[in-house]
Chain A
Amino acid sequence: MLETRDLTKSFGAMQVTRGVSLRLERGERRVILGPNGAGKTTLFNLLAGELAPDSGAVLLAGEDITALPVARRARRGLSRSYQKNTLFDGLSVEENLGLAAAVHCGQGMRLWGDSLARPEVREIVAEVAEMVQLVPHLHARVSEVSYGVRRQLEVGVALATRPSVLLMDEPTSGVGPEMARGFHRLLADLPRSLTLLIIEHDMDLAFDVADTITVLNYGEVVFDGLPEAARGSRLLQEIYMGDWSDA
């Protein structure tokens, strides 16, 4: 479904992504682990089109999308959520979801009538609100809801574009352990047709949600395999300087 071939990116003399090759099957849930500065977010930016690689290719459903800009990748089904919330604070939760759904339904350029009143947009908003448990908060302004709800909405906005591949940059960043567990359940309940690539620091999430785990270190893939294999990997324990046996 999503593939990278020998993806490389440097900023000046610093090579932040070194020949990264990944292959995600349809419906796969893969978690990317790695210490700070390992190049995880840069990899996401390369996948989403926010950065252009120095070399290598990105393929979506077998088609080379390396040269496509961000918006065209999104329209082909590649959506992302951000580590820091990128929501529209002055709007309600419903309007945030509606804005994304309207773009997906081709209503974002519509000159006559409110795009959020369109049945197809309302249908997506209702469906996504249910999916990410935002129904009780739909009419609240983003500035009025808790941080945890905003994280859910961050994912909801990305889902409202009905993607086939969703890139999630640390979805549980900044939330407490209780809320993080709720988030794990939420991610686990997402439709299996959706391919998920998640950057995560939370090991529990990684082992709860992931079908496969990829570990980056200094921009290189140093591990690519099943969660069970990751638990026993000596190399990964050294990278993280800890023991995961209790995770």
Chain B
Amino acid sequence: MFRHTFLRYAVLALLAAAALLRALTAGYFGLEILAEILILAILVLALDMVAGFGGMVSLCHGALMGLGAYAYGVLCVHAGLAPLPALAGAIALTGAVAWAIGAICARAHGIFFIMATLAFGQMAYSWVFETPLLGGDDGLGGIPRPDLSLLGIDLSDSRSFVLFCLAATALAYGAAVLVLRSGLGRSLGGVMHNEQRMRALGLTVWRVKADVFGLSGMLAGLAGALAAMQVMYISPGLLAWTTSGEALVVVILGGLGTLVGPLVGAAAFVTLKHGLSGVTSHWHLVVGLILIAVVMSRANGLFGWLEARWGARLDRRLADATREDTPREATNDA
């Protein structure tokens, strides 16, 4: 089950403060990069929920994100829905599709699960590519951003939109923590460690997997809708398997099964990408080398390395300090 440690809180606070500072001070391009980080952060949170806490390594989360983007776009552009109900509809639809994928793939494990999710992702990609209503390979344009003028917020302004994305990321993180700390989250942990035993205890294992996959899909749908809002245009490329692969790289780079690690990974990946692409067009090579180094070091990503080195030590010191303080307080009270 997911637990917050001192280090996790500290890194979360650091990330939130850095994002807020950047959102308030950055120029246009800085804001675009920050929005990209935040949207990717939501997608990798969704992926970490299933891969890191349920052992379901998915290669269809890119497609789910794309589905969320298209659902939002179609509901706004073709169905004429206002952006906020369209956003809710896109999240619900993506969740329902993800639930069905999770239910179908629940009996598969390891490489077979990965391949089954990849197949679903590619099917979605091909369907979108060939559907004229969705714009085919031209994509879908004219996608609006929500109107929050009643609250005095103008989301057409880049800074306001980034703050909106930051709030959405915080909500997504909170939702992921709530799910993982619930009865469902505990059952998911049990299933990941020993599916046979959980079944022998009376748990309907496929339902647990499908439910968590569905909830994770809702977050991926949110990421997709935000991506559509950001560029106000969607192309089928968003559903390509490379988006899922990239998300998986980010989760591994940050630290699988930590929730905080993928956030670190998203920030590191997008920053590296933009930093390096200005220097060389072969930036993928550098990211690849870093990923190989992280995997070969046997640390659980950048955050996992930090956690292995400092996490236990910090918690022990904190516990010692609490123990030392307790009798003193008791004496003072007396």
The chain A residues found within 8 Å of chain B, CB to CB, are: 48, 50, 69-72, 74-75, 79-80, 82, 86-91, 95, 98-100, 102-104, 107-116, 157, 161
Q: Are B187 and A102 in contact (CB under 8 A)?
A: yes
Q: Report the Cα distance A63→B1, complex, angstroms.
A: 37
A70 with B193: CB separation less than 8 A: no
Q: Say which residue of B181, B184, B187, B201 sits within 8 Å of A157 (CB atoms).
A: B201
Question: Which one, A70, A99, A109, contacts B199 given CB within 8 A?
Answer: A70
A117 nearest in chain B by CB position: B183
Number of interface residues of B (CB under 8 A): 26
- Given A71-B205, A86-B194, A102–B183 Cβ distance below 8 Å? yes
Contact pick for A90, options B179, B193, B207, B211, CB 8 Å: B193
Contacts from B to A (Cβ < 8 Å): 1, 178-179, 181-184, 186-187, 189-190, 193-194, 196-205, 207-208, 211
Q: Name A69's closest neighbour in chain B (CB-CB).
A: B199
- Which residue in A100, A109, A111, A115 is a CB contact (below 8 Å) of B201? A100
Given A86-B194, A109-B211, A74-B200 contact (CB < 8 Å): yes
What 8 A-B pairs come out closest when comparing CB atoms?
A115-B183, A110-B183, A74-B202, A75-B202, A86-B197, A108-B187, A107-B183, A103-B201
Are B182 and A111 within 8 A (Cβ)? Answer: yes
A-B contact pairs, 28 of them (CB 8 A): A50-B200, A70-B199, A70-B200, A71-B201, A71-B205, A74-B199, A75-B202, A82-B197, A86-B197, A88-B189, A88-B190, A99-B187, A99-B201, A102-B187, A103-B202, A109-B187, A109-B204, A109-B208, A110-B182, A110-B184, A111-B179, A111-B182, A113-B183, A114-B181, A114-B182, A114-B186, A157-B197, A161-B201
Indicate if the CB atoms of B190 and A99 lie closer than 8 Å. Answer: yes
Smallest CB separation, B107 vs chain A (Å): 12
Tell me whether B183 and A79 are in contact (CB under 8 A). no
Which of B181, B200, B204 has the most chain A CB within a 10 Å cutoff?
A: B200
The answer to whether B183 touches A108 (Cβ under 8 A) is: yes
Q: Which residues of B contact A103 (CB under 8 A)?
A: 187, 198, 201-203
What residues of chain A lie closer than 8 Å to B186, measured between beta carbons?
95, 98-99, 102, 108, 114-116
Cα–Cα, bound, A99→B211 (Å): 18
Q: Output the least CB separation between B118 and chain A (Å).
A: 28
B211 to chain A, nearest CB (A): 7
13 new A-B pairs (CB below 8 Å) besides A99-B187, A110-B182? A48-B200, A79-B201, A88-B197, A90-B193, A99-B198, A99-B201, A103-B198, A111-B178, A113-B182, A114-B181, A114-B186, A157-B201, A161-B202
CB neighbours (8 Å) of A86 from chain B are 194, 196-197, 200
Report which of A79, A88, A102 forms a contact with B200, defined as CB distance below 8 A: A79
A96–B187 alpha-carbon span in the complex (Å): 11
Q: In the complex, A75→B207 CA distance in Å?
A: 15
Is B203 in contact with A71, judged by CB distance below 8 angstroms?
A: yes
Q: In the assembled complex, which residues on chain B have CB atoms less than 8 Å from the CB atom of A110?
A: 182-184
Alpha-carbon gap, A79 to B116, bound state (A):
33
* Beta-carbon nearest neighbor of B188 in chain A: A108
Contact A114:B200 (CB < 8 A) given known A88-B190, A89-B193, A109-B211: no
**B187 cross-chain contacts in A, Cβ below 8 A:** 99, 102-103, 108-109, 115
Name, among B184, B197, B199, B208, the residue most crowded by chain A CB atoms within 10 Å (CB to CB).
B197
Closest beta carbon of chain A to B150's beta carbon, Å: 30
User: Are A74 and B178 interface neighbours, CB within 8 A?
Assistant: no
A102 CA / B182 CA spacing, docked (Å): 11
Q: Check A71–B202 contact: CB distance below 8 A.
A: yes
- Chain B residues, CB < 8 A from A100: 201
Contact partners of B194 in chain A: CB under 8 A? 86-88
